[in-house]
């Protein structure tokens, strides 16, 4: 049964344009600039903000640090940090806080200089340390990309999925990226070679990074950030642009268990929550903003969210059906270019909300005609072991 309510909406957005800041700005400065521009987009001011949601990317004591830096004294501070899915969690929590009357205007921000700091996000060590399960895999030298490659191999073994099928995901996102001037500039600044739309052959013949994942199946490492303003219904109706309503949300956690299936993610739990609350089905979704750290991430999540059955994702994505100009074939995937070809500063969840909002406003560079419903799904952690899933269903009037 649907419990959909329209009590909170995204009313302002901004994406920091540069993916290579060359040490000229800090993460906090990226967050502040993005927040100011998002408030301007909404037609609101700093004094309207009474809730802060932050994942700690600007430094320690996240809620206190960001409140002081912005000069705010919020009634609500939420510092949920679950990796790349943090911002889907923040959107869900903002909706609940607004519905409970604890806040009226929520500010979500992200800023990262991962590229400028030469962070080896995917191929370096896992970093951080101290996890109680580190003795189970860290001693063997497992990197993040190796974890995802393990899932890809298992999916191939279980279901006959091929590298050519996985490549369809990279091809679709690059098609969208080439229509996005900021994504093209990003690839130029990050010194991509032969910047153009790609083919399946291009992907499967690119350099192997972690068997079976090729170079063009792995996200870029960039700088970047952005901001999202979420407001109560009475505020949203008076903002500069039409509200994009948060219709349903879901949260879930997955970690290794005896007999567990590494090809199945926490999305199997968070997806039904979000779709059920929104009162819609995956088949009604026009835009799928899916966390694309690697090609296999998208394939597994599309299955787990219910766009196709488990094991059928390889055949389902074939033939370019994820492109923005194939609306009758299912949702358009990552129409900004995604983490594969637009930006990936470390935690990409906020960009899923940004592009979903652009699509529902009719402002995307790869605009889907008549788009009414979008899903943003973040995956934080490692797909093949422990991670959190956050699903947000968005809709327009």
pLDDT digits (tens, 9 = 90+) for 97-117: 999 999 999 999 999 999 998
**pLDDT per residue as tens digits for the range 246-265:** 999 999 999 988 889 999 99
The answer to whether 186 touches 342, Cβ cutoff 8 Å, is: yes
- Running DSSP on this structure, what letter comes out for residue 246? E
pLDDT classification of 127: cutoffs 50, 70, 90: very low
pTM recorded for the entire structure: 0.96
pLDDT at site 340? 98
The tokens of 39 are what?
């408030």
- Reply yes or no on domain 8-117+221-396 having CATH 3.30.1330.10: no
Q: Which residues are CB-contacts of 117 (< 8 A; sequence separation ≥ 6)?
A: none
Distance CA 186, CA 165 (A): 26
Q: Which residues are CB-contacts of 132 (< 8 A; sequence separation ≥ 6)?
A: none
């Amino acid at each position: 049964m649907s419990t959909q309510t329209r009590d909170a909406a995204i009313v302002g957005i901004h994406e920091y344009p540069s993916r290579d800041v060359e040490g000229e700005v800090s993460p906090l400065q990226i967050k502040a600039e993005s927040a100011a521009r998002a408030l301007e987009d909404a037609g609101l001011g700093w004094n309207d903000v009474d809730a802060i949601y932050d994942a700690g990317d600007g430094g320690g004591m996240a809620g206190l640090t960001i409140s002081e830096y912005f000069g705010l004294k919020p009634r609500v501070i939420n510092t949920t940090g679950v990796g790349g899915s943090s911002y889907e969690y923040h959107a869900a929590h903002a909706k609940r806080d607004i519905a409970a009357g604890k806040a009226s205007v929520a500010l979500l921000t992200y800023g990262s200089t991962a590229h400028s700091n030469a962070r080896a996000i995917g191929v370096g060590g896992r970093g951080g340390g101290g996890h109680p399960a580190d003795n189970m895999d860290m001693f063997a030298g497992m990197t993040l990309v190796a974890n995802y490659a393990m899932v890809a191999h298992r999916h191939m073994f279980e279901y006959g999925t091929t590298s050519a099928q996985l490549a369809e995901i990279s091809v679709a996102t690059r098609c969208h990226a080439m229509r996005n001037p900021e994504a093209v500039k990003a690839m130029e600044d990050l010194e991509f070679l032969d910047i153009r739309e790609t083919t399946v052959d291009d992907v499967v013949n690119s350099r192997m990074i972690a068997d079976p994942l090729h170079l063009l199946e792995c996200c870029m490492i960039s700088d970047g950030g952005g901001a999202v303003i979420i407001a109560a219904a009475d505020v949203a109706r008076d903002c500069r642009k039409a509200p994009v309503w948060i219709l349903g949300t879901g949260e879930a956690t997955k970690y290794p268990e005896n007999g567990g299936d590494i090809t199945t993610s926490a999305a199997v739990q968070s997806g039904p929550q979000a779709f059920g609350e929104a009162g819609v089905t995956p088949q009604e979704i026009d835009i799928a903003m899916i966390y694309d750290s690697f090609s296999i991430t998208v394939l597994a999540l599309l299955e787990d969210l219910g766009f196709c059955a488990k094991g059928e994702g390889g055949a389902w994505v074939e033939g370019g059906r994820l492109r923005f100009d194939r609306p009758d074939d299912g949702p358009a995937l990552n129409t900004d270019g995604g983490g594969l070809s637009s930006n990936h500063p470390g935690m990409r969840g906020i960009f899923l909300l940004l592009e979903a909002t652009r699509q529902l406003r009719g402002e995307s560079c790869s605009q889907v005609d008549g788009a009414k419903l979008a899903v943003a799904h973040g995956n934080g952690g490692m797909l093949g072991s422990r991670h959190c899933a956050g699903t947000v269903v968005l809709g327009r009037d």
